[in-house]
C-alpha cells in the first residue's frame, strides 16, 4: 500500500479544510515547496497535490507553485483540483505530473474522462470520488449530486478507470478516524481504492492495508504530528 502525503493549496499556501468547508481553513505553511521537500526527505515517493482554488473555479490557480514542486522534487505527483478538460490534463501530464485526478469533470463530462483513459491509460488517469453520506460531491464539494458513490464506481469502471481516490468528506480534516465500512464497500465494487479522509493513526493505516486499499492519503495528521511520516512509511 502506498503512503501518500497530501498538500492542499489555497492562494499559494499549504492549508487544510475541516470537512471540506472553505470557511474553516487552517494554514500550515506559506511555503508548500518546502513542505513537499520535507516529505521527500522523510522518504515519501508520492505526493497528493490539490489546488483547492482550482476545484472551486474550474482551472488550476496555483500553477507556478505546482510547477515548482514538480520541477524541484523527485516526488511522483498526483494533481487534482480544476482539471476539467482534455487539454488541461494533457498539459500537466506533459509537464511531468505522474497522474491527474478527475473529479467534477468525470461526472459532468464523462467523455473527457474516457478520452483521457484511452490516450494515456488508466495508470495516468485517476478518478476522484468525494462523497458525503455516500453521495458524490462535485465543484469543490459545494454540490452534492444524487449519485451514490458505489454505483458511480461501476460506471467509471465501464469507461476504463481502474483506480479511484475515495474521499469521505465528513472525515476529511477532522482527525476522527476512517470510515472503514464505506471504504470496504467501495473496494467491493472491484476497483482499486486509495483512501482519503480521516486517517489519524497507524492503526488506521494498517486497517486500510488489511482491507485491500492500494494507497492511503495522509493530510492533517502529518501537520499536527499525530502521524510521523517516517514511521508510517516504515510500518
Residues known to be catalytic: 8, 130
List the Cα angle 167/140/229 in 5-degree steps: 45
Secondary structure (3-state) at 186: helix
Q: How many CB atoms lie within 10 A of CB 55?
A: 29
* Closest C-alpha to 51, from 9, 13, 114: 9
Q: Which three cell numbers stand for residue 194?
A: 486509495
CB 49 within 8 A of CB 7: yes
Secondary structure (3-state) at 217: strand
Describe the crossing of helices 110-120 and 86-94 by its angle, rounded to 10 degrees: 30
Secondary structure (3-state) at 102: strand
Phi-psi region of 22 (alpha: psi -120 to 50; beta: other; left: phi over 0): alpha
CB 16 within 8 A of CB 44: no
Amino acid at each position: 500500500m502506498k503512503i501518500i502525503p497530501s498538500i492542499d493549496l489555497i492562494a499559494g499556501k499549504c492549508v487544510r479544510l475541516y470537512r471540506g468547508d472553505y470557511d474553516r481553513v487552517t494554514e500550515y505553511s506559506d511555503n508548500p515547496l518546502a513542505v513537499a521537500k520535507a516529505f521527500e526527505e522523510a522518504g515519501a515517493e508520492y505526493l497528493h497535490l490539490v489546488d483547492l482554488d482550482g476545484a472551486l473555479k474550474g482551472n488550476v490557480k496555483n500553477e507556478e507553485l505546482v510547477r515548482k514542486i514538480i520541477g524541484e522534487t523527485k516526488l511522483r505527483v498526483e494533481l487534482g483540483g480544476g482539471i476539467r478538460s482534455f487539454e488541461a490534463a494533457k498539459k500537466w501530464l506533459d509537464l511531468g505530473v505522474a497522474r491527474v485526478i478527475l473529479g467534477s469533470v468525470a461526472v459532468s463530462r464523462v467523455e473527457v474522462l474516457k478520452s483521457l483513459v484511452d490516450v494515456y491509460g488508466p495508470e495516468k488517469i485517476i478518478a476522484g470520488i468525494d462523497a458525503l453520506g455516500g453521495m458524490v460531491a462535485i465543484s469543490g464539494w459545494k454540490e452534492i449530486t444524487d449519485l451514490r458513490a458505489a454505483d458511480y464506481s461501476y460506471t467509471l469502471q465501464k469507461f476504463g478507470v481502474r483506480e479511484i481516490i475515495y474521499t469521505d468528506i465528513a472525515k476529511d480534516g477532522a482527525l476522527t478516524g476512517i470510515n472503514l465500512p464505506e471504504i470496504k464497500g467501495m473496494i467491493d465494487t472491484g476497483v482499486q481504492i486509495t483512501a482519503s479522509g480521516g486517517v489519524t493513526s497507524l492503526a488506521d493505516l494498517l486497517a486500510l492495508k488489511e482491507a485491500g486499499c492500494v494507497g492511503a492519503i495522509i493530510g492533517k495528521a502529518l501537520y499536527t504530528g499525530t502521524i510521523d511520516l517516517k514511521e508510517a512509511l516504515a510500518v
